Amino acid sequence: MSEPNLSVQLGRLSLKNPILTASGTFGYARELAPYLDFSNLGGIIPKTVTLEPRIGNRPPRTVETASGLLNSIGLDNDGLEVFIEKHLNYLLSLDTAVIANIAGRHIGEYSQMASRLQDYPEIAALELNVSCPNVSGGVDFGTNPESTEQVVRAVRDACDFPIIAKLTPNITNIIPIAQAAKEGGADAVSLINTLQGMAVDWRNRKPILGNVLGGLSGPAIKPVALRIVHQVANAVDIPIIGVGGISSIDDIMEFLVTGASAIQIGTASFYNPGLSGDLSQQLRDVLKEQNCDSVQQVVKTLQLS
């Protein structure tokens, strides 16, 4: 049997394989260079960038929980211009797709950032963070269909990049939000961002995180992520990138058969920084075992009866 075709198509975005790194867990890639060959990745999504610098939330900002990690970073970053000046050229020199992740306080900031990044057509796509649970403002866009559509449409009008909307699980029904992202012109949706949670030091009667609340990631949220991928895949005609607790080839296959066309490795990179680079060969081996010629052959093949 010939080697399986690992390439995937997410709307206008073409990737050489479906394995991406999740924003906020891979830095600006330099930090992970000693641990993996970037060419083995389908793409890199660096940490979220905002128009102006943000100092983020007060510490402590992270705490380990059972089967997961709570973070309350608060989108700490040096702003768009520093990202362009110090990080973007290095990222674009790597042998993989670079998907910039942006967040704004209002719709105008999203479109302004998208327009500025048009000067760098080598960027493969934009992922819109409309769903960070530990900053004021951002999550509001992703909890309302109208505002989600408006943000996506504004970015679509401001640039030529493929657009990925990263959606929040912290709502009752995500299907209208995913549909709104599609109507606004998104090429794909990332499902899911973190679940809002908290940790408590009961002896001192205090929350552990400086911001009280944070976003839960890691294996604990995988069942929720799979459920949401399943729901959206069966209700909205849009490519899905699965995110949430993925740390093995079995996890990847679970998301693919449930309906995702690509996936992101997030929290697992903290304790196994080379993992994402190893998974493309493992995916190739599993597809061969399954007598599949391509990734697409396994996408959304879940049998419900």
The pLDDT score that the predictor gives to residue 21 is 98
Domains of the chain: 8-56+73-195+218-297 (3.20.20.70)
Total count of residues recorded for the chain: 305
Query: Residue 2: what pLDDT?
Result: 85
Say what the pTM is.
0.97
Do 103 and 50 touch, CB atoms closer than 8 A?
A: yes
pLDDT of residue 137: 45
3-state secondary structure string, the chain? CCCCECCEEECCEEECCCEEECCCCCCCCHHHHHHCCHHHCCEECCCCEECCCECCCCCCCEEEECCEEEECCCCCECCHHHHHHHHHHHHHCCCCEEEEEEECCCHHHHHHHHHHHCCCCCCCEEEEECCCCCCCCHHHHHCCHHHHHHHHHHHHHHCCCCEEEECCCCCCCCHHHHHHHHHHCCCEEEECCCEEEECEECCCCEECCCCCEEEEECHHHHHHHHHHHHHHHCCCCCCEEEECCCCCHHHHHHHHHHCCCEEEECCHHHHCCCHHHHHHHHHHHHHHHCCCCEHHHCCCCCCCC
pLDDT per residue of the chain (305 residues) written in tens, 0 to 9 = 689 999 999 999 999 999 999 999 999 999 999 999 999 999 999 999 999 999 999 999 999 999 999 999 999 999 999 999 999 999 999 999 999 999 999 999 999 999 999 999 999 999 999 987 656 544 478 899 999 999 999 999 999 999 999 999 999 999 999 999 999 999 999 999 999 999 999 999 999 999 999 999 999 999 999 999 999 999 999 999 999 999 999 999 999 999 999 999 999 999 999 999 999 999 999 999 999 999 999 999 999 98
Contact assessment for residue 32 and residue 10, using Cβ atoms and an 8 Å cutoff:
no
pLDDT, one tens digit per residue, over 108-161 is 999 999 999 999 999 999 999 998 765 654 447 889 999 999 999 999 999 999
Q: What pLDDT score does 133 carry?
A: 63
* Per-residue confidence (pLDDT) for residue 1, from 0 to 100: 63
pLDDT score, position 131 = 81
100, 132, 152, 279: the catalytic one is: 132
Structure confidence at residue 300 (pLDDT): 98
Give φ, ψ of 217 to 5 degrees: -135, 180
Gap between the Cα atoms of 161 and 126, Å rounded: 6
159 is catalytic: no
Structure tokens at 152: 């996506």
